[in-house]
Amino acid sequence: MRSASRAVRVLGLAAALAWAPPASAADTRPVTDSAGRRAVVPTRIDRVYAAGAPASILVYTLAPDKLLGWTRPLTPAERALVPARYAELPTLGRLTGRGNTASVETVLAAKPDVIVDYGSLAPTYASLADRVQQQAGVPYLLFDGSFSAIPRVYALLGDVLGVPERGRELARRADRLLADTDRRVAQVPAGKRPSVYYARGPRGLETASRGSINVETLDRLGVRNVADQLGRAGVSTVSMEQVLAWDPGIVIAIDPGFVTAVRTDPVWKSVRAVQDGRVYLRPRHRFPGSTSRRRSTG
């Protein structure tokens, strides 16, 4: 019964939107996104629905006046860095990621010209894009969220959103930043690069090896990711014995509870990174400058 009611609401919203006059060929154009998907988008785009948090940042930095809303409310620290007119944008939820909080009805109610997603190009996300595009009748573009693709994505999306100059400007900035990072990394001998363990979850026993989007920053910085020794890509669960054997010099964590716990955990205190006070919490805010770096005291 609930499913039937939901279907009626979706159809009602779709019917209301259908009263708009059909766009002519001159008012639209085809765009191929990073996943090789082809969508027909309006020539002029004024309303963009960001499918996830990375997409909201991408659109905000490129064309903030076109962003319809955030995936979650901004924190006080984040709001301090954003002009009030953007900080007050509504919370629309997210279409992608774990525990998505938006629905097709939400998209229809927002009346976007286009949906933009930014991140993994895995088949799961491409399939989601196809499904939402079909259900909502709104073009859905999926862009490559990898570091190396940042300049290319800015240039492409800038053209799609009608701000090509801004897109090219940000593409050049990103290109220079990545090139400078690579240059600095190349100056550090391999033997002097730190060993790093990427800790996920409340116990810190989930990690990721080279090639995973989770540790792409570590790959770019040229550190020695101890999990590469697993010989398999993606996220893995490891034992405490394995972490002790690796004895990393730095731990990058994503769970605040874990960072607090390692200070008193008798087993984790045997790890060199904990002893040296080099356990860091990855920034969790949309705007990294809005949070201070956290570090365990060992």
Domain ranges of the chain: 24-181, 190-295
Copy the structure tokens of residue 168.
């090219």
* Res 25 pLDDT > 60: no
**Topology of domain 24-181, per CATH?**
Rossmann fold (3.40.50)
pLDDT band at residue 291, thresholds of 50, 70 and 90? very low
Confidence of residue 32 (pLDDT cuts 50, 70, 90): very high
Confidence of residue 233 (pLDDT cuts 50, 70, 90): confident
Listed in sequence order, the residues at least 6 apart from 115 whose beta carbon sits closer than 8 Å to its beta carbon are: 48, 49, 50, 51, 95, 107, 129, 132, 133, 136, 138, 139, 140, 141
Q: Can 24-181 and 190-295 be said to share one CATH topology?
A: yes
Whole-number pLDDT of residue 43: 95
| Per-residue model confidence (pLDDT) at position 292 | 33
Average pLDDT over residues 77-92: 92
The pLDDT, as a whole number, for residue 263 is 85
* Distance from C-alpha of 133 to C-alpha of 128, rounded to nearest angstrom: 8
Instruction: Tell me what the pLDDT averaged over the chain comes to.
Output: 86
Give mean pLDDT, residues 101-106: 84
pLDDT score at 285: 58
How many CB atoms sit inside 10 A of residue 63's CB?
A: 20
d(CA 68, CA 56): 9
Average pLDDT, stretch 273-291?
74
| Residue-level pLDDT at 157 | 98
User: Is pLDDT of 293 > 60?
Assistant: no
Q: Which pLDDT band holds residue 11 (cuts at 50, 70, 90)?
A: very low
Neighbouring-strand partners of residue 49? 115
- Nearest CA to 112 out of 42, 60, 34 is that of 42
How is residue 273 written in tokens? 């990174």
Q: Cα(142)–Cα(153) distance, rounded to whole angstroms?
A: 10
- Percent of the chain at pLDDT above 70? 85
Query: pLDDT tens digits for 135-192?
Result: 999 999 999 998 899 999 999 999 999 999 999 999 999 999 999 999 999 999 988 9
296 — pLDDT class (breaks 50, 70, 90): very low
Query: What is residue 176's predicted lDDT score, i.e. its pLDDT?
Result: 96
Reported confidence tier of residue 231, pLDDT bands at 50, 70, 90: confident
pLDDT band at 232 (very low <50, low <70, confident <90, very high): confident
Q: What is the mean pLDDT of residues 223-252?
A: 92
CATH 1.10.490.130 fits 190-295, yes or no: no
pTM of structure: 0.79
Does residue 260 surpass a pLDDT of 50? Answer: yes
Q: How far apart are CA 220 and CA 182, in angstroms?
A: 7
pLDDT in tens, 38-77: 999 999 999 999 999 999 999 999 999 999 999 999 989 8
Separation CA 258–CA 179 (nearest Å):
34
Q: Are 138 and 40 in contact (CB under 8 A)?
A: no
The DSSP secondary structure of the chain, one letter per residue, reads -HHHHHHHHHHHHHHHHTTSPPPPGGGEEEEE-TTS-EEEEESS---EEESSHHHHHHHHHH-GGGB--BSSPPPHHHHTTS-HHHHTPPB---SSSTT----HHHHHHH--SEEEEEE---HHHHHHHHHHHHHH-S-EEEEE-SGGGHHHHHHHHHHHTT-HHHHHHHHHHHHHHHHHHHHHHHTS-GGGSPEEEEEBSTTS-EEE-TT-GGGHHHHHHT-EEGGGGG---SEEE--HHHHHHH--SEEEES-HHHHHHTTT-TTGGGSHHHHTT-EEEPP-SSSGGGSPPEE---
Contact 180, 190 (CB under 8 A): no
